[in-house]
Structure 1
C-alpha cells in the first residue's frame, strides 16, 4: 500500500462507504430470497430455520454445536429450529459415531427435495446476472469476496 495522504484517505473512506452501500443492497435482496424460500419449504417457516436447513444440506451431517458455530447463532434457538425441522421430516438426528454423547443432524430426502423446490425460482438468477461477465471477472470477484470474508489481502496467502 502506498503513502496514505488525507486525499487518499478520504478517497478510501468514500470507496469503503460505497462498498458498504452495495453490500447493504445485496443483503436486502438475499434476505428477501431467504424469506421467500423459507415460505416455500413450509408456510410460516422462519428464515433462520431455513438457513439452518440449508447449512446442514450444504456442509453435510453436523452436530448442533457445529451448526451454531457456523451460523454464529444461539444454540437454544437452533435446537428448537432443528426440532421443528425434524417434526416436518426435513432432518433426522442420529448418534455421532465419533462421540456417542452427541447427535448428528442430517437432511432427509424430503428435506433435500423441499430445498430444491424452494430454491428453483431463484436458481438461475445469479447465472443470468453474470451472463455478460467473463469467466475471469467472475473468478476475480470470487477471489476478492473470499479474501474479504476471511480477512486476507487478495492474491496473498
Structure 2
C-alpha cells in the first residue's frame, strides 16, 4: 500500500468515524425520547434493558447482563423498576429453580411498540430513495463491521434475509 493510499484510507476512516458519531448522537436522542414515551422519567439504559428482554426473552439476569455488557446490580434495579411498572415479569426458570426468567408483559410490549413507532417510520422514510439492494448492502457492511470481519467482495444480503444472522 502506498502512502497516498494510506492517507486516503485514513481520511476515509476519519470521515466514517465522524458519520458514526453523528449517527450515535441521533440514536441516543431516539433512545431518550423512546424511554420517555414508555414511561415518563425512564432512564435510557432501562429502555435498552426492556428492548433486549423483548427481543431475546424470556431471559435470565445473567444472560441479560452478558448481552448488555453491564453490571448485574444496575440490571437488578432496572428490572425491579420495570416489574413495578407492570412492563416485565419474573418467573422461576424451569431449567434452574435458582434463576428467574424475565419476560416482557403485554403492556410492556405495547408501550415498547408505541415508543418505537415514530422512529421506525423515520428510518423507512429516510431510505425511501435508496434501492433495496443498497439497503441490503449497507446492512451487510454494518454487520461485518460489528462482528469485526469483512464481507466477501461484492457480497450483498439476499432480499428479505435477516441481516443479523
Q: CA deviation at 1:29?
A: 0.5
Quick one: which of 14, 17, 31 aligns to 2:14?
17
TM-score, normalisation: structure 1: 0.94
Provide structure 2 residue ranges, at least 5 long, that are not aligned to the other structure.
Answer: 154-165
CA distance in 1: counterparts of 2:17 and 2:54, whole angstroms: 29
1:95 pairs, out of 92, 96, 114, with: 92
Q: TM-score, normalised by structure 2?
A: 0.90
Deviations 1:38-86 (A, max 9, x none): 0011111000000000111112211111111111111110110000000
Q: Which runs of 5+ in 1 are unaligned?
A: none
Whether 1:81 aligns to 2:78 is yes
Residue 55 (1) aligns with residue 42 (2): no
Q: 1:18 deviation in Å?
A: 0.5
Q: Distance in 2 between matches of 1:139 and 1:120?
A: 22
- 1:1-157 paired onto structure 2 within 5 Å: 4-155=1-152
**1:87 to partner: Cα distance:** 0.5
Q: SS where residue 45 of structure 1 aligns?
A: coil
Number of aligned residues: 154
Distance 1:100 1:155 in 2: 45
Deviation at 1:155, TM superposition (A): 2.2
Runs of 4+ in 1 over 2 A off after TM superposition: none
Shift of 1:120: 2.0
Shift of 1:6: 1.3
Structure 1: distance between partners of 2:140 and 2:116: 25
CA RMSD in angstroms, aligned pairs only:
1.3
Q: SS where residue 124 of structure 1 aligns?
A: helix
